Amino acid sequence: MTRRLRTAVLIAAALLWVSTVAAAFQAIRRFETTPGRAAIAPRTWPVSSRIQRAADWTLVMLIHPHCSCSRASVQELQAVIESAPTVHPTVLLYRPTSFPRGWEKTDVFEAASRLRRTRVIIDDDGREARLFGGFTSGQTFLYDRNGTLRFAGGITSLRGHAGINRGRTDLVDIMQARAARGTHPVFGCAIASVTEEAK
């Protein structure tokens, strides 16, 4: 390789290097900070839901089993369970009925199944999720003993980022009577695709 060609290759690589670093930073920033579609949650408990309401607080989380970002949501739910000893959460795990059984058995499913005091329910085609008006994996709802919605939102700070965040602290504060209600952006995969929603 001639000296001139070598220099040209190195200059091109330098330009590529600088632009890639800037573009990658921007892409990561946009991806991680863009929340999913927020729920249009009913203000009162949806009576047609097959989930049994708890005596005091009823916590429901929607999960897409293949959403890698939802590992963080499950991890945060563990922290909520540790902070609120009376809560018995329900995790609704999305599964399309047209897919083979076992499709939903992922590490996210396993992690949710290992949570203490937690019931995991397979949500065929996201029917229960629709009753709660949820669209995004990680979406969490908290209803009080009267069936009034007190919290709707996500409990992670960003996509796939576990760690203390406003959503988790608000949820715990409500259950410990330090706050009345709350909401927080939700980060995760869509529970249903656009074509499924249109049906």
Partner 1 sequence: MSTNGNVAERAAELRDEQVHARRVRVDRMFAVLLGIQYLAGILGAIAVSPYAWAGKEKVLHMHVWIAILGGGGIVILPILLAIFRPGTTLTRHVIAASQMLSSALLIHLTGGRIETHFHVFGSLAFLAFYLDWKVLLTATTVVAADHFARGIFFPESVYGIANPEWWRFLEHAGWVVFEDIFLVWACVLSLREIDAAAVRQAEVEHLQEQEQLKSAALEMALAELKATA
Distance of closest approach, residue 4 Cβ to partner 1, in angstroms: 13
Distance of closest approach, residue 195 Cβ to partner 1, in angstroms: 8
| Strand ranges for 64-174 from DSSP E | 90-95, 119-124, 140-143, 149-153
Distance of closest approach, residue 13 Cβ to partner 1, in angstroms: 4
Q: Please say which residue, 41 or 62, places its beta carbon nearer to partner 1.
A: 62
Q: Please say which residue, 148 or 193, places its beta carbon nearer to partner 1.
A: 193
Provide the residue type at 154 as one letter. Answer: G
| Class of residue 9 by CB neighbours under 10 A (exposed 0-12, middle 13-18, buried 19+) | exposed
Q: Please say which residue, 6 or 105, places its beta carbon nearer to partner 1.
A: 6
Q: Please say which residue, 58 or 73, places its beta carbon nearer to partner 1.
A: 73
- Rounded to whole angstroms, the Cα distance separating 199 from 189 reads 19
- Rounded to whole angstroms, the Cα distance separating 120 from 88 reads 11
Site residues (vs partner 1, CB under 8 A)? 1, 6, 9-10, 13-14, 16-17, 19-21, 23-25, 27-29, 31-33, 64, 66-69, 71-72, 94, 96, 98-99, 126, 137, 157-158, 160-166, 189-196
Nearest alpha carbon to residue 153 among 36, 64, 54, 67: 36
